[in-house]
Structures are given as C-alpha cells and as structure tokens.
Amino acid sequence: MIGKKLTVRDIINQKEAGEKIVTLTAYDASFGRLLDRSGVEIILVGDSLGMVLLGYESTVPVTMEEMLHHCRAVKHGVERALLVGDMPFLSYQIDKREAIANGGRFLKEAGCDAVKVEGGLEICETVAAMVRAGIPVMGHIGLTPQTAGALGGYKVQGRDGESARRLLAEAKGLAEAGAFAIVLECIPDKLAGAITASIPIPTIGIGAGPQCDGQVLVINDLLGMFEKFVPSFVKRYADLAPQIVGGITAFRDEVKSGAYPDAEHSFVMQGEVADLFKQDKG
C-alpha cells in the first residue's frame, strides 16, 4: 500500500476529517519497508530502541549518533509514511540553539520529516524556535520516559485535578508553539479525550484510551518480540518470540546432526568440472 508521500499537513487533515492516525515504531530498513507497505501513516524511530535493540535499562543513555544511525536505516525502507525521529535526552533541553542544530541533523543527515521531543510548558519556547527554523515538531506529554525518574517511575500521569489541568495547559502550549501533533502517554482516557477536543492538532495515544486522534505502539511489543516486560496497555497482535526461538533451535539441531544443508540447499557441479572431482575408483 504505497501512495503519495505524506506530509505534516496530511496528518493534521486526518484529525480534521475524523480519520484515525496509525503510528508504529521502526528501527531498521526492513521494518520501515513493512510498516510503509502496511499503510502506517507515521513511522517513529523511537529512542525506545535503547531498550528493545541496544539492551539499555532505559532510554536515557541513547545518543544522537545512535538515533541518527537508525533513522538513516529506516529511511531506506520508507516511501510514503511520515518519518519522525525521536530526539534523545539532553539533545534539546540545554538551549534553543543546540536544539535547532540537533533537530536539523535529523532532517539533513537522517532524512526524517520531523522530530519528536518530550516535555510540556518548559520546552514550548524551544519548540517554537525549532518550528521557526523549519523543523516540524511532535510533542510528547504525560509519562515522558526520558524523565520518568523525576515523575516517580513509569506511572500513569494526570490522575488528580492539579496534574490533569497541567497536562491540558501543556497540550495547549505545545499546540500554540507550533507542534503538529502530540503523543499522550499513560494518562486517563477521559483526560486524553478532553485534551484531544481542546487542541487543533492530532493527539497520538499510547496508554491513553480510544479518544485520541491516533494510536502508537512499539513494534516489538505489538509483535511479541520484547519479553522483558509488557506494559498493561499493550495488545499483542502476534507472539513471535517463541516462533523465532523455535526456528533457531531447529536450525541448530539440523546443523549439529548434519541434516542441513541437504542436496536441495546445496549447489551441484555439472559437466566437465564435475568430472575433475570424481573419485578415482582404480
């Protein structure tokens, strides 16, 4: 399912038309190509790669170079979807000039169409500066994994009146700053619905209920390939980890026994060349 290349304006138009927006993560060209063919509108190269690919305990250690490397890889597989690169921890929080420089690298060096940043009111001025510089920005509020420690861990946010009002103000602030969409992570469904109805740009939910304008999941969670833990909001649409282990185990056993490779999976010499290697029968 490959059509015209999607733009930020196309994504905003989907909200205006009441059409749900499908978003998934990808970390290499193979998955980028598969997601693109499947009709996913936004492909996010998430800093979640730190945990699902690189084995880090959190997203905090992920570097700019690691993100740019994986964004470049995914870009090779994507023709239609909007490609968004996740800006890693401390690549945009220090000052606006550095945020613009690093955000620009995602577009110039990695071929991304936009970037994503975490945070609320404290980064609205930075978002506005990046947008003025020509960098499309997706926001991310609620549970923000890069600063989960400061939030008390991986917990649902916005459950009391004060924090709910703050999240609503943050969403409005990011929209006014020029963000084209906002990820809402781990917040109550009614609050997500109120935020969605209050801003003109799309909301993309992850653990935020059905009233968001779209949904996102980590592809490894969706396919059952990440077994360390499974967030309660994740629905597994496949359970590939056992199948992968089963296939590898079968290969190991056949190599050990000599069953693989057999004649079907080997190249056979023919003609005069084969005659050269015939054993002398005396």
Hey, which residues are catalytic here?
Answer: 185
Query: What gap in Å lies between CA 259 and CA 122, rounded to an integer?
Result: 62
Cβ neighbors of 26 (< 8 A, separation 6 or more) are 32, 35, 43, 44, 45, 74, 77, 78, 219
DSSP secondary structure string for all residues of the chain: ---SPP-HHHHHHHHHHT--EEEEE--SHHHHHHHHHTT-SEEEE-TTHHHHTS--SSSTT--HHHHHHHHHHHHTT-SSSEEEEEPPTTSSSS-HHHHHHHHHHHHHTT--SEEE--BSGGGHHHHHHHHHTT--EEEEEES-GGGGGGGTSS-----SHHHHHHHHHHHHHHHHHT-SEEEEES--HHHHHHHHHH-SS-EEEESS-TTSSEEEE-HHHHTT---S---TT---S--HHHHHHHHHHHHHHHHHHT-SS-GGGS----HHHHHHTPPP--
The string of DSSP codes covering 110-141 is: T--SEEE--BSGGGHHHHHHHHHTT--EEEEE
Instruction: Give the separation between CA 11 and CA 76, rounded to whole angstroms.
Output: 21
